[in-house]
Every structure is written in structure tokens, then in C-alpha cells.
Amino acid sequence: MADVVSKTALDCGIVIEDDWPGYNIDLFSSPTHYSGDLECVYIPHGVIMDRTERLARNIMDDLGDHDLVVLCVLKGGYQFSADLVEGIKTLSRNSNRSIPMRVHFIRLKSYLNDQSTEDLQIIGAEDLSFLNGKNVLIVEAIVDTGNTLKMLLKHVEGFRPKMIKVAGLLVKRVPHSVACLPDYVGFEIPNRFVVGYALDYNEYFRDLDHICVLSETGKMKYKI
């Protein structure tokens, strides 16, 4: 994937340029029931896994020997969170440093079709008092305007954790961003609506292994 990358940096992730057309969908395996619904494969599954492994190493380097509460943001973040936690566990087993972890799940809902809304619902986060004095790693699949992440951070800070770090698989370049960025970023991508690897469009496409760009046909087919 070197031909789509302008630079690599630990603070901003792998940067995918605006003119990156993606890979032909026919070159990859994808569920036949989504035939015609996808424009292209944007980030293949193997590339996601390689980058997740690197993020696990970065987290291990920074937070090794610290107890950690992983706060997984559902539903889109479950696959990234599972793979990231597994990567950290693998490193922990093969190192003289370790990160004792516990995992908690919350759910955020702020999208209607392909548009983010101001109506943010936080489900499962009513009482996070167990975060008091703990080191917290929030794991989020995608950050666009940063408004959702900003509101979530404010909510979590209210429970007075010792430290909060954020790992985000994708950061989308969008207008009017509040510049609330994760500490660990997988990929910085253009402002295109992507699905797959547990990212959905009205609950469809979570069963894709790759991150793909949704076609206009797909948007209309599954619109509510």
C-alpha cells in the first residue's frame, strides 16, 4: 500500500491522500449480497491488521506495567478493539513488561444514514465510577468532526480517571473539525463514507473484512 501513503507518523497515522481511488473490489473476496453496493476496497484487511499490530506496540511502549481499562466504543469499534487488545496481550506474553487489562463496553449513536447528527446517545456509560483513579484507553473505530469524541472525553473525565488515552483506527479529514484527535491513530483518510471491519451503514456491512467505500447505490438501497 506504499503507493497511497504520503507519510507515516506515530501522531497522525498512515495518511491516505484525497486522490487515492482504492482497489478494485473484484480483486478481493467480499460477500456476494453486497454486489454493486461498494465502490472499492479502501484499506485491505491485512493492512489494517499490520497497522493495528504497530499501534499495540506503541501502546505497550507507552503504558507497559500500568493497569489499564479498555473502554470499547460499540458497535463500530468492537473489531478494532478486539484485535488491538489481542495484539497487546500477545506482546505482554512475550515481554518482561505487561499490561493487566480489563475491558468495558459502551455504545454511542450519532449517525442517521451517512450523516453525523448532534443527537449523541451514550449507552452503558451511566455509571463509570470504577474508572476513578484508573488508566483508561478509549478505543474508537472512526473520528470525523471530533465532536462525539470530545463529548465522550468530557463524560469520562467526570469519573476522575488517573489518565485517558484514545486509540482511533480512522481519523477522517472533514470541514469544521474540533481537532480532538486520538493519541494513537491507525489511518487518516479523506472525507468519504466507509464501511466494513465492523463499521456500518444502518447496521449493514459490519460483516466485511476490508474497509470499503460505500457506493451511491448502496446508500440508497439501505437508506432509512
Residues carrying an active site annotation: 144
Are 177 and 146 in contact, with CB atoms under 8 Å apart? yes
β pairing state of 68-74 and 135-143: parallel
Who contacts 70 (Cβ-Cβ below 8 Å, separation ≥6)? 81, 85, 101, 102, 103, 104, 137, 139
Strand partners, 4: none
SS3 labels along 120-159: EEEECCCCCHHHCCCEEEEEEEEECCCHHHHHHHHHHHCC
Are 115 and 144 in contact, with CB atoms under 8 Å apart? no
